[in-house]
Chain A
Amino acid sequence: MDGFGGTTLRINLSTEEIERTPTDPEFARSWMGARGFVSKILYDEVPRDADPLGVDNRFIISTGVMTGAFTPVGSKVGFGCISPATNGHADSSMGGHLGPELKYAGYDLIICEGIAAHPSYLYIDDDTVELRPAGDYWGMGSLELEERMKNDLGEDFQIATIGPSGENGIVFSCITHDFGRQAGRCGVGAVMGSKRLKAIAVRGTKSLPVHDLKSHWKLTYDIIQRTKTHPNMAPWQKYGTAFFVGWSNERGCFPTKNFQETYHKDWEKIDGERLVEDCLVSDKACFGCWMNCGKYTRARIPGKPDTYQEGPEYETIALVGGSCAFTDINHVAYANHLLDNIGMDTMSGGSTVAFAMECYQRGFITKDDLEGHELRWGNIDDFEHFVRMIAARRGIGDVFARGTKGAAEAIGQGTIKFASQAKGMEFSGYDTRWYPAQLLSYCTCDIGAHHSKSWTITTDIELGRDTIEGKAAVVIYLQHIRPLFDTWSCCRLFWGELDVTPEEHVETINYMTGWDITLDDCMQVSERVWNLNRAHFMERNGGPGRSHDGAPARHLEEPIPDGPAKGKVVGRENFEAMLDDYYANRGWDKDGNPTREILEELGIGYAADNLEKIGLLGKPIPGGIPKVRGKKLKPKAM
């Protein structure tokens, strides 16, 4: 099948049965890859009462139509499961080289069921697929294990691992690859650990079948030449995402001290320039990428061993650096290494520690809870001790192993007001109080709060940060276009930052596959996925849908105390008005429940039947649903 590896693997970890089937062309066309594949399989296969860390959840590894091709840039692989953080659909992707390697080995999709009897790793060498014992690897750090497995198997193998955090079911555990690329979000590492799957090792040596190779490569070749001189290329190459630390501070959206503030007065000590000047070892790119936003660094802290890591990237600098109030880039880089190796998402991990630091600041937790240690803002020793308490689930670490929402529910005393999360997953590294569309984006996001599905900081600026008018429709457009890149399984930055058009992406897909699809077709796939995930979330968690879209009180009620956004807050009334607007624009009813009309139009009428059975199908919209959902407005680059 042109454009695909051609084979789907189904692995029953409990029985060690491995089934190979040709990837279904109709399935591939309807769902396109990674996020799309995951959405459909989870909906069809996981019982609605299944424990995310139990035997009935699925752990899915998926490439997409663009993975491994000569495209901008098919480096991605997606991981899917029911999330232990949100109890809903999870898809989390990462770059590096694992996805292309899987495709060159001939695999589009690997569905893991059951739970292995013993710690295991998945070994793939072209047609050889084995579950191998991983008892010797269990307990090792993610980065240490990758080095060990490269030594054991050879440099040609691409390796993905989990750390002790994933083994112990911490809900924000990640999967690590290529010494610093992560599928970080939704707790996919915890589900991998619950399956007793410690690692994945892949070598692929086959050629990727392409329908029209000449047109395919010439299109990308021309894009490469065109974008080399794009004005955004140089700063992205030099600093990567860390370039935007100052940018966010100047615009009053940089999370500081657990989102108490939005301007870090010492941001220049932890920004991209400091990172490059003080810590840079080498520039590092994902497979097939000519923008090399990865920064491989060395952290040096007196009294501690030097650490080598990729990053910190913007999100880590924001949620570890800013939110935990560090003032030395070496400390942020060291914390990045600590979280990577222990196997925690630096975003939710950083946010959870920051939340705990505020709990400590306010006296909700004390030294007695911390084995005699403190938890002071910006203190790397306190940070490290607490992270290790969480990873080992020692004492109160067990409470924070549930993330900010779970911890706030356990601690009580109103702490939920300052847990910056939606659906149980922590906010990305942008405060929302002057950015209402970003707040709406987080709170309606189908995987829990994550900017990857809709990032609107420049959109809020363009449309006016003090207004909510017209924001909901743009958020919907972004929630379709941005996750489309996760479904194609490629990097969205070439669209967002270098003006490679989505139409060019579609053109290259057609050259690869022999399909004759349009961007509108792809956008419909993306909308189908969004609505299916919504139905799935409600089938698992009850309703009405609106009850899951709430915002943390801090972002609704607490004006920003200082900095460029001083005094700003979204306000509850404004937020509820945005939700009304959002549901109307989506073709959902006022309770946030999808209607039969929209679900049937998207070809997933079965989801309407299922929602109807549990009384959560949206009421018909008088006059019908909008013909076009969402309003196109491409965000300006930063």
Chain B
Amino acid sequence: MRIKVKKESCTGCRLCEQICTICRYDEINPRKAAIKIVPHFPQPGIFEPKLCVQCGVCAKECPVDAIHLEGEAYVIHEDECTNCGICVEACPIGVMFTHDAAPTPIKCDLCLKCTEVCNTGALIVVD
């Protein structure tokens, strides 16, 4: 199971960012989301959702082995993470995010809530 991103369907509403931080941190703060919508305007005039594809590079690079495969998602264990930032640097597609008020880097753990609010088919669950 994974989240398939269809960027041509994204409208830039950022509901996914909102629900992500609500479920992850009990906060409304899109800047702390594990998904980021990057607009490309005025040209070509499209939105690019940036979201972890669970490739596992972060787990391999983590010097303290704080990132574990749980089911189909790589999950950061907050009690083990030293917030050194190596995984953020190592991520090949730039989807390990940071925020000054977050105790660890921020990555998708496949809770799928974003796919439930997306109304355009930009984020869909596939096996």
Which A residues contact B (CB, under 8 angstroms)?
68-70, 97, 100, 104, 143, 146-147, 155, 178-179, 204-208, 210, 213, 217, 221, 224-225, 228, 233, 237, 281-292, 294, 296, 298, 308
Question: Most chain-A CB neighbours within 10 Å: which of B13, B25, B27, B44?
Answer: B13
- Closest residue of A by beta carbon distance from B40: A155
* Chain B residues positioned under 8 Å from A281 (CB to CB): 44-46
CA distance A281 to B120 in the complex (A): 15
CA distance A70 to B14 in the complex (A): 11
B26-40 with Cβ < 8 A to chain A: 26-32, 38-39
Name 12 interchain pairs, CB-CB below 8 A, sorted by A.
A68-B28, A155-B38, A208-B29, A213-B22, A213-B26, A221-B19, A225-B116, A233-B119, A282-B45, A284-B12, A285-B13, A288-B14
* Chain A residues positioned under 8 Å from B30 (CB to CB): 100, 104
- Closest residue of B by beta carbon distance from A227: B119
Contact B13–A290 (Cβ < 8 Å)? yes
B117 at interface by CB-CB < 8 Å: yes
Contact A224–B22 (Cβ < 8 Å)? no
Contact A308–B42 (Cβ < 8 Å)? yes
Contact B19–A282 (Cβ < 8 Å)? no
B69 at interface by CB-CB < 8 Å: no
B99 at interface by CB-CB < 8 Å: yes
Q: Given A70-B19, A282-B47, A292-B120, are A206 and B41 also a contact pair (CB < 8 Å)?
A: no
Q: Given A68-B28, A290-B13, A290-B15, are A155 and B43 also a contact pair (CB < 8 Å)?
A: no
* Chain A residues positioned under 8 Å from B41 (CB to CB): 147, 178-179, 296, 308
Contact B18–A283 (Cβ < 8 Å)? no
- How distant is A479 from chain B, measured CB to nearest CB, in Å? 30
Contact A147–B29 (Cβ < 8 Å)? no
* Chain A residues positioned under 8 Å from B32 (CB to CB): 207
Contact B28–A287 (Cβ < 8 Å)? no
* Chain B residues positioned under 8 Å from A228 (CB to CB): 119
Contact A207–B12 (Cβ < 8 Å)? no
* Chain B residues positioned under 8 Å from A283 (CB to CB): 11, 120
* Chain B residues positioned under 8 Å from A143 (CB to CB): 42
Contact A289–B13 (Cβ < 8 Å)? yes
CA distance A20 to B29 in the complex (A): 22
Interface pairs A-B: 6 shortest CB-CB? A285-B13, A290-B119, A292-B11, A207-B29, A285-B11, A207-B27
* Chain A residues positioned under 8 Å from B18 (CB to CB): 70, 288
CA distance A147 to B21 in the complex (A): 28
- How distant is A294 from chain B, measured CB to nearest CB, in Å? 8
Return the CB mask of B1-29 against A: 1 if under 8 Å, else 0. 00000001001111100110110011111
CA distance A18 to B31 in the complex (A): 26
- How distant is A152 from chain B, measured CB to nearest CB, in Å? 15
Q: Which of A69, A155, A292 contacts B28 (CB 8 A)?
A: A69
- Closest residue of A by beta carbon distance from B8: A282
* Chain A residues positioned under 8 Å from B42 (CB to CB): 143, 146-147, 179, 308
B127 at interface by CB-CB < 8 Å: no
* Chain B residues positioned under 8 Å from A237 (CB to CB): 119-120
Contact B28–A70 (Cβ < 8 Å)? yes
Contact B15–A288 (Cβ < 8 Å)? yes
B79 at interface by CB-CB < 8 Å: no
